[in-house]
Every structure is written in C-alpha cells, then in structure tokens.
Amino acid sequence: MDPHGDVTQQAISRAVGEELRRLREARGWSRAQLVARLPSGIGDRTLLSYEHGTRHLTILRFIELCHTLDVPAPSLLSQALQRARIHLQNLVLLVDLLAMLHDRSDKFRPMHQWARNKLNDFPDGVVELPPSSVRELATFVGCSYPELANYLARFIPEKDMENEGVTPSN
C-alpha cells in the first residue's frame, strides 16, 4: 500500500476517534456507558481502539456510534477532518467569527471586516463556508486556497455538536 495513503488513513482514524471521544466526554458518558447504549454489543476495548484511532471504523459502526451519540454522521466526520486539518478542500468549514476576530495575524487582517459584517447575519458567531466561498475569500485576501482554508479551520467552534446535537446552517 502507498505509504502516503497509510498516513492519511491513520490520520483520519485518529481524527474521527478523537471527535468521538470529545463528544462522548461532552455527554458525560464513560466508555462503558456508551458501549451499554450500543445495539452491536462491542466492548470497552474496541471503543477505546476506535477513539485512539488504532482500529478503523466501518461505515456501519461509525453511523451506529453517531446515532447513539445523537449527532449526524456527516457533521461529526466534517468536524473531525476540520479539527485535524485533513482534506479541507472538500469540507464546508465551520468558523467561529468571534474567535477569528481575536486573531492578530497581519496576513489575514482583511478577514476581520468580513467577519464583523457576517456577525450582522449570524449573531451566534458561527458560519459555514463551502469551498467556493473559501476560494473567493482567498482571492480577496491574496493567498492560496489551502493557506486560507488552513487558517479558517483553526477557528472551529468549541460549542459545536457537543451541546446542540447538530451543526449550525446558513
């Protein structure tokens, strides 16, 4: 197998596992409590290996875990990839505008006025940016798409799926 593909698979498994762990802990559940809620009857060690990314999840098991945690599987996957900054070119990025406004990076300073204007339409401070919007903003700022996507991915909302069950939408 391609060594680069292995790294990507491992990174994705770790990112998804970390997101599952974060969400489980936000619910206040131990691993044993989550396992008890799963219809498949997996063990604590199996869940631990998923959370650490040492064992790959099947799609069906991933959906089962997401359903049990009461979160849409696509939302959890997107947040995991955004947090790990993997495949950003394919993601709708969730951006916390208020956190971005506290950033003092000179290169991305033009984004501050955009963020302030967006707050008028999104008072909760969270926006979803599809790849096409990130491309346009990158042109405006004068940087590459990957550079801006990586910058924006840093501002993933901390009050995300953990408290609401779903991600905000435009």
Quick one: pLDDT at residue 41? Answer: 86
- pLDDT greater than 70 at residue 33: yes
d(CA 72, CA 161): 9
3-84 topology per CATH: 434 Repressor (Amino-terminal Domain) (1.10.260)
- pTM tops 0.85, yes or no: no
d(CA 99, CA 81): 19
Banded pLDDT at 8 (limits 50, 70, 90): confident
Q: What are the domain boundaries of the chain?
A: 3-84, 88-164
Relative orientation angle of helices 131-141 and 145-153, to the nearest 10 degrees:
110
Beta bridge partners of 127: 95
